[in-house]
C-alpha cells in the first residue's frame, strides 16, 4: 500500500499551447504561485512574475529560463493599491500584451473572532480581495482591447464552507468568488473568461508547520486521504487558462480531494 503521507509525483502533465501569450501571476515567488508560473511557462507563455520579494522572484525566473521558458520579474507589494495599475501598464509596455491574469497572492492571519484585530481583518481583505479587484480592473483594459483574456482567481474551500479561526480569510475568499462571478458576466461579451480555483488542504511550508499530528488529522477529513500538491492546483489553472476553455466562465473549480463533497 502506498504511504498516504508521501507527496504524489506528477503524472504526464496537461499540455496547452500558450505560445505568444503573456501571463501575469501574483504571489509567484513560492508555493502555489511558483508552481502556476512554472506550469504556464512550460506551456509556452511568457510569464510576468509579481510579488513583493524581487530576490525570490529572480530565483523563480532563473528556474523557468533554465527549463527553456521565458519569465520577467515585476516586484510589487499588492497591499499598495496605487502600485497595481502601474505594474500592469509596465508589463504590457514591456511584453506587448496581456492574455492571462492569475490572482494568487494571499495571506492568512488566523485567530478567533473575539480576538481578531482590525489590522488582521484589514490586511487579509486588502491582500486577498482588494488587490485582485485592482489587478482585474487594470488587466481588463488591455484584454478588452484584444477581445481576449483569461482571468483565474485563486480562492479557497474556506470561502465556500467557512473555517473556524478564519473569519477574515473565509470572508476574503468568499468575496473573491462573488467578484469572479460578477466580472465574468461583465466581460464575457469581450471573449474574456473569469473563473476561480478553490484549493483544499495543499502541501506547503505552511501545512508542514502544522506538525505531523495535525497533518494526520487533516488527512482523515479528506476522502482522498492525502494533502493536495501545488502542481495539482497549477494544472487546474492551466486548464482554465487554455484557449479551448472559452465557454467556461463564472465558475469555481474546487480542488480538494473530496473534502466538501
Q: Which residue has the higher pLDDT, 6 or 22?
A: 22
What integer is the mean pLDDT of 28-52?
97
Instruction: Write out the E strands in 55-209.
Output: 70-75, 100-103, 149-154, 192-199
In this predicted structure, the answer to whether residue 129 has a pLDDT above a threshold of 80 is yes
Q: Which residue has the higher pLDDT, 161 or 8?
A: 161
CA atoms within 13 A on the CB side of 246: 10
Q: What values do phi and psi take at 123, rounded to 5?
A: -60, -45
Interhelix angle 54-66/31-42, rounded to 10 degrees, is: 30
What integer is the mean pLDDT of 125-150?
98
**What gap in Å lies between CA 107 and CA 174, rounded to an integer?**
14
- Which H or E run includes 22? strand 22-26
**What gap in Å lies between CA 176 and CA 181, rounded to an integer?**
9
Helix (H, G, I), strand (E, B) or coil at 79: coil
- Given a contact cutoff of 8 angstroms between Cβ atoms, the answer to whether 92 and 46 are in contact is no
Instruction: Write out the E strands in 34-185.
Output: 46-51, 70-75, 100-103, 149-154
In this predicted structure, the answer to whether residue 2 has a pLDDT above a threshold of 90 is no
**What gap in Å lies between CA 144 and CA 252, rounded to an integer?**
22
Q: Which residue numbers are catalytic?
A: 169
**What gap in Å lies between CA 218 and CA 204, rounded to an integer?**
13
What integer is the mean pLDDT of 172-182?
98
- pLDDT given at position 219: 85
**Tell me: the pLDDT tens digits for 199-222?**
999 998 766 766 777 778 888 899
Interhelix angle 230-241/31-42, rounded to 10 degrees, is: 50
**What gap in Å lies between CA 8 and CA 255, rounded to an integer?**
15
In this predicted structure, the answer to whether residue 1 has a pLDDT above a threshold of 50 is no
- Which H or E run includes 255? strand 252-255
CATH architecture of the domain formed by 22-255: 3-Layer(aba) Sandwich (3.40)
Average pLDDT over the chain reads 94
Q: pLDDT above 90 covers what percent of the chain? A: 88
Amino acid at each position: 500500500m502506498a504511504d498516504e503521507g508521501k507527496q504524489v509525483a506528477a503524472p504526464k502533465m496537461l499540455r496547452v499551447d500558450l505560445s505568444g501569450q503573456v501571463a501575469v501571476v501574483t504571489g509567484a515567488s513560492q508555493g502555489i504561485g511558483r508552481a502556476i508560473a512554472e506550469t504556464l511557462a512550460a506551456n509556452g507563455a511568457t510569464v510576468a512574475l509579481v510579488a513583493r520579494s524581487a530576490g525570490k522572484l529572480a530565483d523563480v525566473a532563473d528556474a523557468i529560463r533554465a527549463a527553456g521558458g521565458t519569465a520577467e520579474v515585476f516586484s510589487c507589494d499588492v497591499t499598495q493599491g496605487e502600485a497595481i495599475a502601474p505594474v500592469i501598464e509596465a508589463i504590457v509596455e514591456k511584453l506587448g500584451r496581456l492574455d492571462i491574469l492569475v490572482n494568487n497572492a494571499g495571506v492568512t492571519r488566523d485567530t478567533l473572532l473575539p480576538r481578531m484585530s482590525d489590522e488582521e481583518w484589514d490586511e487579509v481583505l486588502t491582500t486577498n480581495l482588494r488587490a485582485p479587484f485592482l489587478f482585474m480592473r487594470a488587466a481588463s483594459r488591455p484584454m478588452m482591447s484584444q477581445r481576449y483574456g483569461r482571468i483565474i482567481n485563486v480562492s479557497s474551500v474556506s470561502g465556500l464552507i467557512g473555517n473556524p479561526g478564519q473569519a477574515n480569510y473565509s470572508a476574503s475568499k468568499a468575496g473573491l468568488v462573488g467578484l469572479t462571478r460578477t466580472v465574468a458576466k461583465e466581460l464575457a461579451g469581450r471573449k474574456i473568461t473569469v473563473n476561480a480555483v478553490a484549493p483544499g488542504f495543499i502541501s506547503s511550508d505552511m501545512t508542514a508547520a502544522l506538525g505531523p499530528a495535525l497533518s494526520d488529522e487533516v488527512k482523515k477529513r479528506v476522502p482522498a486521504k492525502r494533502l493536495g500538491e501545488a502542481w495539482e492546483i497549477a494544472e487546474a489553472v492551466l486548464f482554465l487558462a487554455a484557449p479551448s476553455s472559452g465557454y467556461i466562465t463564472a465558475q469555481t473549480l474546487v480542488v480538494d480531494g473530496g473534502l466538501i463533497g
